Amino acid sequence: MNETATRTPAIHSNLPIVLDPPHELEEAALLRKSKSPEEIMALLDQCSLGSTQADANRRRLLWRALVKRMGHSVRIGRGVLVKHPETFEIGDGVFIGDQAIIQGRFDGYCKIGLRCWIGPQTFLDARALEFEDYAGTAPGAKVLGSEHTGLPVSAPFPTTDLIIRPVLVKRGASVGMNACVMPGITVGEDALIGAGAVVTKDVPPLAIVVGVPAKVIRYRKSENENP
């Protein structure tokens, strides 16, 4: 390790899971019954960019009213954009960073497990997407779940059919800064995807992959490895 580097304990994944206040759960349930999703989204817009703790608490409450299932101690950053949140299942202790975009689909699913970290400005094409526990993305990462067929070639490319392929990021895996995971990929447990990599093939467990297209450069083997 470089002698000038500073090693410090991780914060987010070691924070205790604190149960959200009962009144918040009750208000979320009431909102779900009394207002349409469009009305709740309009309320979310009002606190989307707020920087106070009250704004953060309000975002969490409104997300709970919108999504299919949500755990406790979830943190929603500023300017997060969502589509079809009714298909989202979010575990305890999840962090979603500023300006992340999660684009669901009305007949799809998005599952984000315990203590996952979705970095700022991440884009998730969440039509058929699962992050297992402790998986995450660094800032600017992109996980794609669909692509145009491009057929027939006589048709403009954006008008051709979409193929949706499920993506699975397994427990403890990490998608690096500005990396891109293509549709249909499985990222194995505890694998690391390097910054800027483009992942076109499944990633084995514990593998470290880099490059365009991404290739395995080594495997994580030693408890004493330097980062």
The full set of domain ranges for the chain reads: 20-66, 72-219
Q: Which residues of the chain have pLDDT under 70?
A: 1-2, 222-227
Dig out the tokens for 109 from the structure.
Answer: 């699913």
User: Which pLDDT does position 1 carry in this prediction?
Assistant: 52
User: Which pLDDT does position 227 carry in this prediction?
Assistant: 47
User: Which pLDDT does position 11 carry in this prediction?
Assistant: 80
Q: Which amino acid is at 107?
A: D
Phi, psi for 173 (deg, rounded to 5): -75, 155
Fold of 72-219: UDP N-Acetylglucosamine Acyltransferase; domain 1 (2.160.10)
Burial degree of 174 (CB within 10 A; 0-12, 13-18, 19+): buried
Contact 123, 101 (CB under 8 A): yes
Contact 129, 87 (CB under 8 A): no
